[in-house]
Amino acid sequence: MEVERTFVMVKPDGVQRGLIGEVVSRLERKGLKIVAMKMLRIPKEMAETHYAEHREKPFFNALVSYITSGPVVAMVVEGKSAISVVRNLVGKTNPVEAEPGTIRGDLAMDIGRNVVHASDSPESAKREISIFFSDDEIVDYAKVDEDWVYER
Ligand code: GDP
Ligand code: MG
C-alpha cells in the first residue's frame, strides 16, 4: 500500500446542487486527507487540456461546455492507494449503473451530470494535479487521526 495523491473535482452540477460538503465529507469520513482545495471557473482551454483523452469522442463538446458552465471545487486528496480508493467511492461513470453507496450511485442520475471527477491512474493523477495546482498550493501536513486510520 503506497501513499498516493489523486485529483478530485466537484463538477458544476455538484456545486449548484449544494453537494460540495457532501462530497468532501465522504472523502474525509473515509480517512482520506485533503492536501489542496480551491474553487474556480475552468477556462475553456484548460477544460480541453484536462479532458484531452476524450477529444475525439462525440460528447467532447458537451463535456467541455458542462465543465465550464459554472464554478467547480478542485482538490488534491492523499492516502494509501488513494487513486483506486477514490474511484471506488465515486462509482461508475454512468450514475444509472453506479452502485448505491457511491457518490454517483447515491447522488446522480445522468452520465452528463455525474457530480464528481476523480483521476483513474497514477499517470492521470500526476497530469491532472499539475493542470490545477502548482507545487506550492499543495500542503504537506500530518493529520492527528493518522495512527487511528492506518495500522502502523
Ligand atoms: P470518468 O473518469 O468516470 O469521469 O469517465 P470518463 O473519463 O470516461 O469520461 C469523462 C466524463 O465525460 C464523464 O465523467 C462524463 O461526465 C462524461 N461522459 C463520459 N461518457 C459520456 C457519454 O457517453 N455522454 C455524455 N454526455 N458524457 C459522457
Ligand atoms: Mg476519466
pLDDT, tens digit, 9 for 90 and up, residues 28-85: 999 999 999 999 999 999 999 999 999 999 999 999 999 999 999 999 999 999 999 9
pTM greater than the 0.95 cutoff: yes
Ligand 1 near 87 CB (within 6 A): no
Closest CA to 30 of 90, 73, 75, 72: 90
Q: 11: how many CB neighbours lie within 10 A of its CB? A: 24
133 marked as binding residue: no
pLDDT band at 95 (very low <50, low <70, confident <90, very high): very high
Ligand 1 within 6 A of 50 CB?
Answer: no
pLDDT at 1 over 80: no
Query: Is 41 assigned to a binding site?
Result: no
Q: Work out the average pLDDT over 91-106.
A: 98
C-alpha to C-alpha distance for 129 and 113, rounded to whole angstroms: 22
Q: Is residue 33 a contact partner of residue 77, using CB atoms and an 8 Å limit?
A: yes
Which domains does the chain possess?
3-141 (3.30.70.141)
Nearest ligand for residue 123 CA:
2
Q: pLDDT confidence of 92, banded at 50, 70, 90?
A: very high
* 3 state SS of 150: coil
Give the Cα separation of 59 and 145 in Å (integer): 42
**Band (12; pLDDT cuts 50, 70, 90):** very high
Grid coordinates representing 7? Answer: 485529483
**ipTM of the prediction greater than 0.90, yes or no:** yes
89, 64 contact by CB (below 8 A):
no
144, containing H or E segment:
none
What backbone phi and psi angles, to 5 degrees, belong to 28? -65, -45
Residue type, 135: D
